[in-house]
Amino acid sequence: MNRKLRMGMVGGGRGAFIGAVHRMAANLDGKIELVAGCFSSDPEKSKASGDDLFLSPDRVYRSYEEMAEKESALAPGERIDFVSIVARNDLHFRVAEKFLKSGIHVICEKPLALSLDEGKKLEAIVKESGLVFALTHNYTGYPMVKEAKAMVKEGKLGKILKIVAEYPQGYAISDYEAASEGDGKISNWRMDPSISGVSNCIGDIGSHAENLAQYISGLKLEEVSADLNTFIPGRNLDDDGSMLCRYEGGARGVLFASQISTGEENNLNIRIYGTKASIEWHQEHPNELVVKYADKPRETWRRGNSYNGEAAAKYTRLPFGHPEAFIEAFANVYLAAAEAISDAIEGNYKGADSYDFPTVADGVEGMAFIEAAVKSSSENGAWTKI
């Protein structure tokens, strides 16, 4: 490509944390330019957000429907090449469907949809369209996560026996105190099933742990025995969950996600144990991957060094000793998706499996995981197939 890709955005207006993250990530490598958007369901807020981003007023839209219709009607040299969807969960399916049917590639925040049924419908739409669809499970973008995946694929761990994935946060514990003291019902759209779906904690952060485990290990999750809990008074959905996991090939696992783990920040971490070696990675220290053996000292692999494999090196921007983190990981999802979109524009798209970004299929698996965990918990931890 001899130009930047033109990006549109739905959601992510004033005050939205994740929208700003996506814009920074998309801009990081200089291959993408934001040119249009519908940043809020409130037309005035959308217009104000467009002004903040110095966009032409005629490319800031009152609704996502108007945006899809008007952008798809523009000449190929002017219209957006793809849309980034960073709206609430209940809008993901509708917005993605509209843009895909308008012939526009999609990068979408997770979860894929509001339900597994919606997710399957969207998967069919993506397949029929032949367009690029990337899901921003951003933790797969870290170079040392890619190094871990490569180690497993190359057989350096041997047969995988055990996977332990955790994502504890403590930010919601203040809500527990407020609700317990009668300071009013906690208001959060993630706790509204009509907007968030059947789960809060497992759907929001547990799905990241599930996706990371499958991405690195290459093993499909087959069954779960789950115990989901709601500790904060006045909430309608879970804020904590634990489960046992059964993977294909006989591997077993433990998955834990919580938003009431006092003192934790974003401590996503994973340990994978094989017959030859094991690996350990922590999101709060993302530039290091620990490799452990039974018969020799453990090793700490660090990002940016010459001993890193091709998978990590491709998505490393800075020399060793200069930390890369959250924005760069997000940017790596955009970088891989941009490669696919550029190939598609030039008639060389090789199919989603040829690129290193989470796909609509990963999103469907995530929705199946969430619904299985909720079903299992409702049946007192009964083993439930994914």
Domain boundary among 131, 156, 176: 131
**Residue position matching structure tokens 């807020």:** 45
Same structural domain, 215 and 288: yes
Question: What residues make up the domain containing 110?
Answer: 5-131
Q: Report residue 369 as tokens.
A: 């995981």
Q: Which residue has 């032409």 as its token pair?
A: 56
Residues 217 and 118 in one domain: no
Contact status, residue 373 vs residue 202, Cβ threshold 8 Å: yes
Q: In sequence order, what DSSP letters do the residues of 156-180 get, joined into one string?
A: TT-SEEEEEEEEE--TTHHHHHHHH
pLDDT number for residue 179: 66
Q: Are 188 and 258 in a shared domain? A: yes
Distance CA 224, CA 242 (A): 10
Q: How many CB atoms lie within 10 A of CB 115?
A: 18
Has residue 184 got a pLDDT over 60? no
Same domain for 93 and 36: yes
**Structural tokens at position 213:** 């485990």
Query: Is residue 358 a part of any domain in this protein?
Result: no
Which one, of 96, 71, 74, 97, lies nearest residue 8 by Cα?
71
Our CA dihedral for 314, 318, 321, 324, rounded to 10 degrees, sits at -80
Structural domain count of the chain: 2
Place of tokens 């991957």: 289
- 354 lies in a domain? no
Contact 366, 92 (CB under 8 A): no
Residues 95 and 187 in one domain: no
Q: Are residues 102 and 163 in the same domain?
A: no
Would you say residue 240 lies in a domain? yes
pLDDT given for residue 248 in this prediction: 97
Give the integer Cα–Cα distance in Å for 108 and 64: 14
Q: Tell me the C-alpha distance between 88 and 195, whole Å.
A: 7
Average pLDDT, integer, range 107-127: 98
Out of 91, 114, 131, a domain closes at 131
Does one domain contain both 206 and 283? yes
Q: Are residues 229 and 370 in the same domain?
A: yes
List, as one string, the DSSP characters of 278-289.
EEEEETTSTTEE
Residue 165 φ then ψ, to 5°: -125, 135
Write the pLDDT tens digit of every residue in 27-67. Answer: 999 999 999 999 999 999 999 999 999 999 999 999 999 99
Q: Is residue 149 part of a domain?
A: yes
pLDDT of residue 190: 78
Q: Which domain CATH number covers 185?
A: 3.30.360.10
Average pLDDT in the chain = 95
Residues 164 and 16 in one domain: no
CA distances from 298 to 144, 278, 290, 292, 311 (A): 16, 9, 7, 4, 22
Query: Within this chain, do residues 239 and 302 fall inside the same structural domain, yes or no?
Result: yes
Listed residues 105, 131, 157: the one ending a domain: 131
Tokens 């690029």 correspond to 132
Q: What is the pLDDT of residue 217?
A: 98
Residue spans of beta strands (DSSP E) within 235-338: 240-247, 252-258, 269-274, 278-282, 288-292, 299-302
For residue 19, CA distances in Å to 37, 239, 362 come to 11, 24, 22
User: The whole model's pTM is what?
Assistant: 0.95
> What integer is the mean pLDDT of 128-133?
98
Residue 63 within any structural domain of the chain: yes
pLDDT in tens, 349-385: 999 999 999 999 999 999 999 999 999 999 999 999 9
The model's pLDDT over 231-247, given as tens digits with 9 standing for 90+, comes to 998 889 999 999 999 99
Same structural domain, 94 and 165: no
